[in-house]
Chain A
């Protein structure tokens, strides 16, 4: 079982917490720069690279040009990409939830969906707090896990925290030490 990422959305549809356990994304710039380096330094020798060497020299030049232009702000683009992912996930989950309610009745609840590459688990509390987790496809239902995260971590460390605001605008009060630590330990224990 592998957990890829975890998101919490509040009742105002804002993403107030997100965490990813994926290896830090080798951004397009860094991967293409390594490819360019291997092709320039060892053009004749057998490359240890897994992908076949590019037949076009123009492509590598273009990639190299792209890296120099893009290298300026890799962290900013990575964070905005994560931001966009969160928005897409919320949109998907929201549409599916409404669809399920229309078809299965008001009391029906959307639990999970699976694609060829990943599985998304969903849990919504009575106060419209939404917990979303992305895992690999072989994972069984994680509904109880999300429920446990809600009771044992969210309620204990965020709701009962006297310093935490009622509304978590921009994720205020969620990223405290205990919650982070508890979540990390809980997920590591599952994997």
Chain B
């Protein structure tokens, strides 16, 4: 039961936080890690597009979904990256013009549906993408249970100690002492269990 590392990627694909808690993964230089974060950001968007059931779900979807499929192409499935789908929804509303009903206006975009869990022979990676596009990657060993819960706690701490820090600038690397300390003690507790 080990948690190896945590990586946070901002909505543009930039690496904003990276911390190793336990030996187990290869040592990767910061440059390589930046490349890795960018690559993963792209792959995540593609995995959302690859959904084999997209044409089945697209036909039975709500009005907003239907609007976008008829106005553009079936490939413009809402649920790519969150920013994408928001843009597509806005575009559809503009072209439809005056006939837009209130129900269509207040439709929320689908939550991001990209890669969630990646499994390899040596580790497991859990990815949590927030609605705003920030991605949390938690690297654990293959037998680690309840990663969802851990992820949730990490996100809570991010909200409490990073987002509520008045000196933190959005989309910039996370340098918050409080966050580091709380996260460190929480993960240590799990790793020593």
Please indicate the chain B residues that have their CB under 8 angstroms from the CB of A116 in the complex.
111, 113, 116
> How distant is A144 from chain B, measured CB to nearest CB, in Å?
13
Interface residues of A (CB under 8 A from B): 4-5, 20, 22-23, 25-28, 31-32, 50-52, 54-56, 58-59, 62-63, 66, 85, 88-89, 91-92, 95-96, 99-100, 102-105, 107-118, 120, 134, 141
If A25-B55, A59-B96, A103-B25 touch, does A108 touch B120 (CB 8 Å cutoff)? yes
Closest to A5 in B: B52
Of A32, A54, A63, A102, which one neighbours B32 at CB under 8 angstroms? A102
Counting chain B residues whose Cβ lies within 8 A of the other chain, the interface size class is 35 or more
If A92-B43, A104-B123, A105-B26 touch, does A63 touch B70 (CB 8 Å cutoff)? yes
Of B51, B99, B120, which one neighbours A100 at CB under 8 angstroms? B120
**Count of A-B contacts with CB under 8 A?**
131
Contact indicator B26/A54 (Cβ below 8 Å): no
B117 within 8 A of A: yes
B53 within 8 A of A: yes
Of B53, B99, B117, B139, which one neighbours A56 at CB under 8 angstroms? B99
Contact indicator A51/B60 (Cβ below 8 Å): yes
If A109-B120, A115-B113 touch, does A51 touch B66 (CB 8 Å cutoff)? yes
Contact indicator B96/A104 (Cβ below 8 Å): no
Contact indicator B121/A102 (Cβ below 8 Å): no
Of A51, A54, A103, which one neighbours B123 at CB under 8 angstroms? A103
Interface residues of B (CB under 8 A from A): 25-26, 28, 32, 36, 39-40, 42-43, 46-53, 55-57, 59-63, 66-67, 69-71, 73-74, 96, 99, 101, 111, 113-123, 139
> How distant is A58 from chain B, measured CB to nearest CB, in Å?
8
Of A51, A113, A118, A141, which one neighbours B117 at CB under 8 angstroms? A113
Please indicate the chain A residues that have their CB under 8 angstroms from the CB of B26 in the complex.
102-105
Closest to B47 in A: A115
Between A and B, 5 residue pairs with Cβ closer than 8 Å are: A28-B69, A51-B66, A103-B26, A108-B121, A110-B118
Contact indicator A4/B52 (Cβ below 8 Å): yes
- Whole-angstrom distance between the alpha carbons of A88 and B46 in the complex? 7
